[in-house]
Chain A
Amino acid sequence: MRMKNSHIALLLGLLFGVIVILVTLYVNRTRERVILLPQPDGTPSAIIVQSKTGATAVLDRPYSVATVAPKQVGSEQTDEIAVKKRYKELFDALPPRPRAFLLYFETGGTRLTPDSEKIVQVVVSVLTDAKDLPPFEITVIGHADEIGTDDLNDELSRRRAAAIVGMLKAKGIDTTRASIVGRGSREPLIPHKKGVAEEKNRRVEIRLK
């Protein structure tokens, strides 16, 4: 039996309507809550939450909350206790914060200062004691002062970092996956003065995460 064209059109219209309604219902079922947390060092921070329709909220106080629905963004304030209670698993599961250790060199040489030698020992202990914890990733970053070309400083700083990795290896640490980075003179601790050697900038950073 053949259906009349008008019946087909009606049926298709109904079907399309049903599909559109189902998709809309499904898509709009979620809202989200975004909560700003304080930085560990207490420095100010902010996040901007923007809905797909352009409504925005700026959160700049720790524990301020933005609630986002498809067309709107609302904000309110909660507190540390409520947040740590509701999201306890997120606090428990967060990986440990990276730790940084700074090493300095003796004047004009490639030997570490005695204090820095002690720090290397501390790093070795941390790595040795942590055998059962999540594997530590080691990144060793060399820095150079401003004397010399960028390419030279990149290479020099990288070699400095590689030397420290060699030291860790010699003390029994598995360094096969250690990252060796030479950041050249990009990150001076003390501002550069043209043509002035700044020993504090000739340093190596060991970062564990």
Chain B
Amino acid sequence: MGKTKSTTILVFVCCAAILGFAGPVFAYEAGMVKTVRGQVRIERDGGTLEARVGDAVHERDRVIVQDASSVGISMSDETLLSIGHNSTMVIDKYSYDPVTREGQVATSILKGTLRYVTGLIGRARPQAIKVTTNNATIGIRGTEFIVEVLDENEK
């Protein structure tokens, strides 16, 4: 009797685990490159890729935009990013469950300019969104904004 009971529980746990994994199949594809102008690179796992429209974007990617270039990226939770010329942006953390809308987005802009449009994670939990720069952290309450990193000589 005890044996049957524990077997049943084991089966249920296995099913739940499988369903959990079956859900976010595209979870590792945090986002997609939608627009590219000029030269844009993505550094990932020690390698470099030339970014093209339709390319996937992953957590921990470093996006490097050259002179006279720009890139637009949309994340799976509908966060929209555009990054301007001579910029370096990193996707520090990204996770999103479309069923519960839970997740987190943490990005940094180390150089250049970034336009940030909050997606569905931010609408449900603004605290789950973080943008970091060399000097600051930015917290949001459901918003769009621009961040520009200035050189010492710039006004």
Task: Kindly list chain B residues whose C-beta atoms are within 8 Å of the C-beta of A29.
Answer: 151-152
Task: Kindly list chain A residues whose C-beta atoms are within 8 Å of the C-beta of B139.
Answer: 47-48, 50
Task: Kindly list chain A residues whose C-beta atoms are within 8 Å of the C-beta of B137.
Answer: 49-50
Q: Contact check, A37 vs B146: say whether CB atoms are below 8 A apart.
A: yes
Q: Is A69 an interface residue (CB 8 A)?
A: yes
Q: Contact check, A95 vs B134: say whether CB atoms are below 8 A apart.
A: no
Q: Sample 9 A-B pairs with CB under 8 A, ordered by A number.
A: A31-B152, A37-B145, A45-B141, A48-B139, A91-B115, A93-B83, A94-B81, A95-B72, A183-B99
Complex Cα–Cα for A92 and B117 (A): 14
Interface size class of A (residues with CB under 8 A): 35 or more
Kindly specify which of A14-22, A132-140, A190-198 makes contact with the partner chain: A132-140
Task: Kindly list chain A residues whose C-beta atoms are within 8 Å of the C-beta of B107.
Answer: none
1/0 per residue, CB under 8 A from B, across A32-49: the answer is 111111110001011111
Interface of B is mostly: strand
Q: Contact check, B143 vs A46: say whether CB atoms are below 8 A apart.
A: yes
1/0 per residue, CB under 8 A from A, across B29-48: the answer is 00010110100000000000
How many positions in chain B have a CB within 8 Å of any CB in the partner chain? 48
Q: Is A154 an interface residue (CB 8 A)?
A: yes
- State the A residues within 8 Å of B (CB): 27, 29-39, 43, 45-52, 59, 68-70, 73, 83, 87, 89-98, 134-135, 137, 139, 141, 154, 177, 179, 181-184, 186, 207, 209
Task: Kindly list chain A residues whose C-beta atoms are within 8 Å of the C-beta of B136.
Answer: 32, 34, 49-52, 68, 73
Q: Which of A33, A47, A83, A207 contacts B143 (CB 8 A)?
A: A47
